[in-house]
Amino acid sequence: MLIEDRLKELRELINRKVPSGITVSNVEFEGPELVIYTDDPKVFADQADLIRVLARDLRKRIVVRPNVLEDPEKAYDEITRIVPENGGISDIFFDPDTGEVLIEAEKPGVVIGKNGSTLRDITKSIGWSPKVVRTPPIESSTVKQIRQYLRASRDERKEFLRMSGRRIHRDIIAKDQWVRVTTLGCCREVGRAAFLLSTPESRILIDCGEKPGATNGATPFLGVPEIQPLTNLDAVVLTHAHLDHCALVPLLFRYGFNGPIYSTPPTRDLSSMLQLDYLEVIRKEDRPAPYSSNEVKQYVKNSITLNYGSVTDIAPDIKLTFHNAGHILGSAIAHFHVGDGLYNIAFTGDFNYSKSRLFNPATANFPRLEAIFMESTYGAAHDMTPSRKDAEIKLYEVIKRTIERGGKVIIPAFAVGRSQEVMLALEEGIRKGDLPAIKIFLDGMIKEATAIHTTYPEYLNSDLRNQIFREGLNPFLSECFEQVDSSDKREAVINGDPSVIITTSGMMNGGPVMEYLHNLAADERNTLVFVGYQADGTLGRRIQKGWREIPIGTKGSITINLEVTTVEGFSGHSDRRQLMSFIGKIHPKPERIFCIHGEESKTLDLASSIYKKFHIQTHSPMNLETYRMV
Amino acid sequence: MLIEDRLKELRELINRKVPSGITVSNVEFEGPELVIYTDDPKVFADQADLIRVLARDLRKRIVVRPNVLEDPEKAYDEITRIVPENGGISDIFFDPDTGEVLIEAEKPGVVIGKNGSTLRDITKSIGWSPKVVRTPPIESSTVKQIRQYLRASRDERKEFLRMSGRRIHRDIIAKDQWVRVTTLGCCREVGRAAFLLSTPESRILIDCGEKPGATNGATPFLGVPEIQPLTNLDAVVLTHAHLDHCALVPLLFRYGFNGPIYSTPPTRDLSSMLQLDYLEVIRKEDRPAPYSSNEVKQYVKNSITLNYGSVTDIAPDIKLTFHNAGHILGSAIAHFHVGDGLYNIAFTGDFNYSKSRLFNPATANFPRLEAIFMESTYGAAHDMTPSRKDAEIKLYEVIKRTIERGGKVIIPAFAVGRSQEVMLALEEGIRKGDLPAIKIFLDGMIKEATAIHTTYPEYLNSDLRNQIFREGLNPFLSECFEQVDSSDKREAVINGDPSVIITTSGMMNGGPVMEYLHNLAADERNTLVFVGYQADGTLGRRIQKGWREIPIGTKGSITINLEVTTVEGFSGHSDRRQLMSFIGKIHPKPERIFCIHGEESKTLDLASSIYKKFHIQTHSPMNLETYRMV
Ligand SMILES: [Zn+2]
Ligand SMILES: [Zn+2]
Ligand SMILES: [Zn+2]
Ligand SMILES: [Zn+2]
Ligand SMILES: [Zn+2]
């Protein structure tokens, strides 16, 4: 059926279902949503259950928009009149193209009202569809820029959503039924994650990352015929914002892709931040950049964000649902339901099956599941990490003895994930008196990454959310943290009192950590604490291995006198024990498990251990293979 | 390097290597061969070793052609003067475009002379390159038509060979190194054989067959991106002429392919014969034909034939060698050498690892071998067939008792392979007195297929060749055989003396066998003997299962009173014991074995049995998978 006929049919169907007094003038696909345009948004909003019933019956995500919109100024006054004072509205943006009004408030719950009653009042009164976002306690320039950019490119974006919507809802024409996965990277290695899920009807790319530290073979195999031409790709699905998963998504636009990229909202924001930083690092090293900031913008423009649990059509025969992966902010296990009950397959991305200070453990429950592609970073039998508790006790001890002898603690850390975990551990240590009341300085992109964390508190675990909302105690806002945002300030920190400095880069390949090392390495009272994996070839790894004389360009060299120590246990990954226990608990039991994202020996070890223990068919694929699922 | 530069370099190199007195005016790639054009073909021919040395040093197949050719009429006289009378020249064809003269003779050995001396004399005397073919004792209309067609389209073919030659010898540009095989059919099933061998540089399709009896899923998966566009395919390699391997090769031309198809010469001839018959069957059943006889012609025009053991460049990084498969005339195991010692992989096609009346057992020795894709038709533990000897004894007994009671024996058989095996067994039975001196009537395409067999005696096993050449006893020419070539003749056979009738189709789906059944089924003195596998859904299978009342269109029905019996053991496939013994003997031992071309349970059984017994990694792939070899 032509898509126009389909829409006409849907309009008639909806008109039959809505009570008299409501006129549906038009329906349109916009991305994965079915948008209903009406002259009577107020009457529509009165029928609390109507949208839910339509969504259920049509098996579509439904959005209602008015044909005629209230004048923004009048609407502004109406909103502030309807929403109680304690909602703390900090800003209101109108988007005439989508008919949406974005309300930024300190207490979104107040703006929404009980069961959405206040929101419905707003809709009835002004016609615009209200969307509520929380006023972030720390302003993120990334989030701000993304919102500005999306507003500025709204015409293009509207057209993009309309086109994607029509593409997603096209008729199924293929007669064959099969589901295949092609491995384009990240098999028997860590890095360049890229998996192609294909059916006779659709092609979905899951992740598109770089391989850190690789001199050749740094990109996924995007040149093979399976994925060519990229214009035929229905969608890209991004599990999380780490560069080994997201770095090369913008490159796809250079190769002709122009479809949607699905991720959670935090993943979109963190990814674009890290992609721009990735370009900056390449620029500083005088290497040729695979893409420019223009493609990062395009990535943002083509992003369609989904929250955990939202079941979404992304192709005629594929539904995507994100589930919490517990790894970093917004990290997701991507679950695909293919066909009408034909097959279910999940890609874990990176995941943590234990609870951390920031996140709940990864989901192990799925409505259905036949196969899973699972990371194996710590997949070998001996890959056991200490508990988070023990790691924190060790970290406290190192800090205490350093402070006591009048030294400073340098903690190199990735901006996203590990930094925030360490921040929370230190904040609690100080608050509960396990650590002295020292200052914790944050340098590099850590503050910006933390700001994005505070923009999406609903992605943090319930304890932390309760602490923030019920107890009004946002640990990220603690007075113990202080941002370093100038060289003067950095100099002051270096020459100041004993303190802790959390700073990028995490593997000591450039970034502000170099400045601290340069100035603090000679003094044996100071301590350098590694909390994350140091890859081969990085300066961090060399120092860990015992190098004590570090040549630094033409400046001569740095002599390492300070204490060097490693605290394991802050990893965002499941260790071997957790990987096995995840498979023990996963429900339903999949028929096949593919161990990926790990060194060869680890994926092989994990695959054979799972097979032996659980009698599930396992594979340790190589890159460039295609597995038939059904 | 540009191909023109490469050719220039080769010309200079060759000019340095040839003795003074020989001028190489030009060199050109024509298909896989490097053709040297010279003004001095006679001097060239004098240097017996020169071509061999050039071929070895340049690692190319070398052909020498004169610039100026003797007038054909004079050349004709010269040839008949040089070749001794007893050579028995029956025809001479000149092809001015290739500079070749085809000499058809009863004793090619005489035309060739000792160590090729007579041939060299011819070359020296006339300039034309002589090629010798045997005068077939039974004239094949297929072979005649193919030769005529190739002569008629020689301009196109010359250009085609030049283009293919340049494509084969293009520079290698890819930096990655990998070898992959994609399964496009014939996995966990019998039929629609099609495997794609690919490297970063090249793509080769091995076989392209139909699935007999399939109502849907009758063609290989040619629509998947791995093989698209077909214009990017470097070559098609055909293992043998059975329709489950060759039927859809002409279809590739409809889809844009225009490259070379490599096979042995008998495979080319048998394939085109069976493809035309395949179209005829489809026409009679009023089904839409996938292609027309035009594409069969194109298939012939684009065919490049190779004999067993000839190592041939078919892509910049791939060399192909055919080895005897022992299955049917010209059947081959296709061995691929990839890169400069990177990887070796063989596809068995169908193969027989025991000696039959017609063929030597399949080759189990390869220069190198890392992986093999192996047929598993009789791969299950219980798939043991009786010895050929026992099968023949049983067949003799059935025939004797039928003849004694005054009946006729109907043997439905495939035109290619099984018919000739049965013919040879019966001829020997009559000659040695184990059978009475009855007539054996051949109906359907059997005579034409037999004619093609006699065209290529070098593809028969040494015993049979010796019998034909040393003992002058060609069993196919025995007086006991009589062709049925009209309905009158058929009626005479039906009403005649007790006899044996070997006739198509082999599974009693149409063909002349129906006429015999119709007229002979009611008489209980007659016998119907099955010597081949009867697929589900065929009339043969139904009768085998015990049906005794066969509805025949509007004509009413046939009552089956005649004796029905099955004689197993004439199969052209290895049975389970032979498959296992092939792997036991194969040299060198491959690292991986892929069990294909068999029902699911058989491929699984064989794969696990090989693994258990030989500790070699085995797979039972599904269709639409890609395996990474290296
Ligand atoms: Zn990660
Ligand atoms: Zn990762
Ligand atoms: Zn065959
Ligand atoms: Zn076959
Ligand atoms: Zn496997």
- Calculate mean pLDDT across residues B36-58: 83
Task: Name the closest ligand to CA A270.
Answer: 1
SS3 content of chain A, % helix, strand, coil (to 5): 40, 20, 40
pLDDT 10s digits, B259-315: 999 999 999 999 999 999 999 988 988 889 999 999 999 999 999 999 999 999 999
Separation CA A142–CA A270 (nearest Å): 8
Name which CATH class applies to A72-135: alpha beta
**DSSP symbols for A324-352:** E-SSSTT-EEEEEEETTTTEEEEE--S--
C-alpha pair distances (Å), A56 with each of A35, A311, B547: 15, 12, 54
Are the Cβ atoms of B625 and A624 closer than 8 angstroms? no
Radius of gyration of chain A (CA): 25
Residues 6+ apart with CB under 8 A from B12: none
Two tokens, residue A472: 């009004």
As a whole number, mean pLDDT of residues A127-138 equals: 84
Task: Read off the pLDDT band of B216 (50, 70, 90).
Answer: low
A196: which DSSP letter?
A: E
* CATH 3.60.15.10-classified regions of chain B: 177-382+573-628
Gap from CA of B612 to ligand 3 centroid (Å): 28
| CA nearest neighbour of B270 among B452, B532, B420 | B452
pLDDT at A95 over 80: no
Cα–Cα distances in Å, from A22 out to A64, A66, A99? 12, 11, 18
Selecting from B180, B223, B232 the residue whose C-beta is nearest the C-beta of A624 gives B180
Give the nearest partner residue to B627 out of A178, A200, A625, using CB atoms: A625
Provide CB contacts within 8 A for B192, sequence distance 6+.
B184, B185, B186, B209, B210, B211, B214, B217, B218, B219, B220, B244, B248
The torsion angle over the Cα atoms of residues B148, B151, B153 and B155, rounded to 10 degrees, is 180
Max CA pair span of chain A: 82
| Domain B388-566: assigned CATH number | 3.40.50.10890
Interface subset of A 154-183, CB within 8 angstroms of B: 175-176, 178, 180, 182
φ and ψ at residue B334, rounded to 5 degrees: -95, 120
The pLDDT of residue A555 is above 70? no
Q: How many CB pairs under 8 A join A and B?
A: 43
CA of B327 to the centre of ligand 3 (A): 7
Does residue A99 surpass a pLDDT of 80?
A: no
Contacts of B6 (CB under 8 A, 6+ apart): B169, B171
Decide if A228 touches B, using CB distance below 8 A: yes
CA–CA min distance A226, chain B (Å) = 5
Chain A contacts in chain B segment 453-492 (CB below 8 A): none
Among residues B281, B230, B178, the alpha carbon closest in space to that of B629 is found at B178
Please give the residue of chain B at the shortest CA–CA distance from A181: B625
Q: What is the rounded average pLDDT of the residues B152-163?
A: 90
Q: Which of A79-93, A605-619, B584-598, B608-622 has the lowest mean pLDDT?
A: A79-93
Q: Do B228 and A225 touch (CB under 8 A)?
A: yes
Q: What angle, 0 to 180 degrees and rounded to 10, lies between the N-to-C axes of helices B293-301 and B154-168? A: 60
Which chain A residue has the Cα nearest residue B225? A226
Give dist(CA B273, CA B146) in Å, integer.
Answer: 10
For the domain A179-382+573-628, what is the CATH superfamily, name and number? Ribonuclease Z/Hydroxyacylglutathione hydrolase-like (3.60.15.10)
DSSP E strand boundaries for B353-480 = 371-375, 409-412, 440-443
A625–B624 CB contact, under 8 Å: no
Nearest to B516 by CA among B427, B421, B412, B415: B412
CATH architecture observed for domain B177-382+573-628: 4-Layer Sandwich (3.60)
User: Is the per-residue pLDDT at B169 higher than 70?
Assistant: yes
Q: Which residues of B touch A225 (CB under 8 A)?
A: 225-228, 232
Separation of B219 CA from ligand 4 center, angstroms? 14
Cα Rg of chain B (Å, integer): 25
User: Is B453 part of any known ligand binding site?
Assistant: no
- pLDDT interval class at A215 (50, 70, 90): low
A214–B contact, CB cutoff 8 A: no
Average pLDDT over residues B554-578: 91
Domain with CATH 3.40.50.10890 in chain A: 388-566
DSSP string, A307-328: -TT--EEEETTEEEEEEE-SSS
Q: Distance of CA A240 to CAs A261, A264, A269, Å?
A: 12, 8, 10
What's residue A552's pLDDT? 74
Cα–Cα distance measured from residue B127 to residue B100, given in angstroms and rounded to the nearest whole number? 9
As a three-state string, the secondary structure of A50-100 is HHHHHHHHHCCEEEEEECCCCCHHHHHHHHHHHCCHHHCEEEEEEECCCCE
Distance CA A418, CA A208 (A): 22
Can you tell me the distance from the alpha carbon of A39 to that of A47, in angstroms, rounded to the nearest whole number?
15
What ranges make up the beta strands (E) of A128-244?
129-134, 180-185, 194-198, 203-206, 235-237
Which residue stretches of A432-512 are H helix? 446-455, 462-469, 487-495
- Which of B405, B422, B429, B432 is closest to B567 using CA atoms? B422
- A12-43 per-position pLDDT tens digit: 999 888 888 888 888 999 999 999 988 887 77
Whether the predicted pLDDT of B535 surpasses 80: no
Per-residue tokens: B138: 């039974």
Where exactly does CATH 3.60.15.10 map onto chain A?
A: 179-382+573-628
Mean pLDDT of all residues in A503-520 = 91
CA of A290 to the centre of ligand 1 (A): 21
Report how far apart, in Å, the C-alpha atoms of A205 and of each of A202, A251, A262 are. 10, 13, 10
Helix extents (H) in A216-292: 243-246, 249-254, 265-284
Chain A environment of B223 (Cβ under 8 Å): 200
Beta bridge partners of A359: none
The reply to whether residue A624 touches residue B178, judged by beta carbons under 8 angstroms, is yes
Q: Is B592 on the interface with A (CB under 8 A)?
A: no
Per the DSSP assignment, residues forming a β-bridge with A561 are: none
Structural contact between residues A242 and A328, judged by C-beta atoms closer than 8 angstroms: yes
Residue B107 neighbours by CB distance under 10 Å? 17
Give the one of A200, A228, A625 whose C-beta lies nearest to B626's C-beta. A625
Residue of B nearest to A223 (CA): B200
The residue of chain A nearest to residue B178, with distances taken between CA atoms, is A624
How many Cβ atoms are within 10 Å of A56's Cβ, its own excluded? 11
Please state the φ and ψ torsions of residue B352, each to the nearest 5 degrees: -125, 120
Least reliable range by pLDDT among A109-118, A191-200, A466-475, B456-465: A466-475
For residue A122, give the DSSP letter.
H
Paired strand residues for A320: A312, A336
Is A628 within 8 Å of chain B by CB?
yes
Q: Which residues share a beta bridge with B36? A: B27, B64
Shortest distance, CA A291 to any CA of chain B (angstroms)? 21
pLDDT of residue B555: 66
- Name the average pLDDT for chain A: 92
pLDDT confidence tier of residue A558, bands split at 50, 70 and 90: confident
Cα angle: A297, vertex A300, A304; to 5 degrees: 160
**Ion ligand 1: residues, Cβ under 5 Å:** A 242, 350
Tokens 């909003």 correspond to A45
Q: Does the beta carbon of B214 lie under 8 angstroms from any beta carbon of chain A?
A: no
Instruction: Judge whether residue A252 has pLDDT over 90.
Output: yes
pLDDT tens digits along A148-174: 898 788 889 989 999 999 999 999 888
Q: In what order do the strands lie in the sheet with A100-105?
A: A89-95, A100-105, A129-134
Q: How far is B596 from chain A (nearest CA, A)?
A: 15
The two most distant CA atoms of chain B are separated, in Å, by 82
SS3 B132: strand
- How far A376 CA lies from chain B's nearest CA (Å)? 20
Contact call for residues B231 and B256 (beta carbons, < 8 A): yes
pLDDT at A472: 80
Q: Do A227 and B225 touch (CB under 8 A)?
A: yes
The pLDDT value given to residue B72: 81
Pairing of strands B261-263, B303-305: parallel
Annotated binding residue B91: no
What's CA B457's distance to the chain center, in Å? Answer: 13
* Pairwise CB contact (< 8 Å): A624 & B624: no
- Banded pLDDT at A532 (limits 50, 70, 90): confident
For the cut 80, the answer to whether the pLDDT of residue A297 exceeds it is: yes
The answer to whether the peptide bond before residue A588 is cis (omega within 30 degrees of 0) is: yes
Checking phi first, is residue B593 left (phi over 0); if not, alpha (psi -120 to 50) or beta? beta
Q: Do B180 and A625 touch (CB under 8 A)?
A: yes
Segment A511-540 shows an average pLDDT of: 91
Bridge partners (DSSP) listed for residue A558: A550
- In angstroms, the separation between the Cα of residue A594 and the nearest Cα of chain B is 15
Q: What is the mean pLDDT of chain B?
A: 92
C-alpha span between A552 and B425 (Å, rounded): 87
Q: Which one, of B560, B167, B610, B567, lies nearest residue B376 by Cα?
A: B610
Q: Which residues of B touch A603 (CB under 8 A)?
A: none
Tens of pLDDT, residues B238-273: 999 999 999 999 999 999 999 999 999 999 999 999
Structure tokens, B187: 């996995």
CA dihedral B12, B17, B18, B21 (to 10 degrees): 70
DSSP, collapsed to helix, strand or coil, labels residue A125 as helix
- Distance, in angstroms, between B621 CA and closest chain A CA? 9
Residue A483 corresponds to which tokens in the numbers above?
């941002």
Annotated binding-site residue? B323: no
Alpha helices (runs of H) in B496-575, residue ranges in sequence order:
513-520, 539-545
Distance from CA of B610 to the nearest CA of A (A): 19
Rounded to an integer, what distance in angstroms lies between the CA atom of residue A338 and that of residue A336? 6
| A225 in contact with chain B, both atoms CB, cutoff 8 A | yes
Using a CB-CB distance cutoff of 8 angstroms, which residues of chain A are in contact with residue B228? 225
* Angle between the N-to-C axes of helices B3-17 and B50-58, in degrees from 0 to 180, rounded to the nearest 10: 140
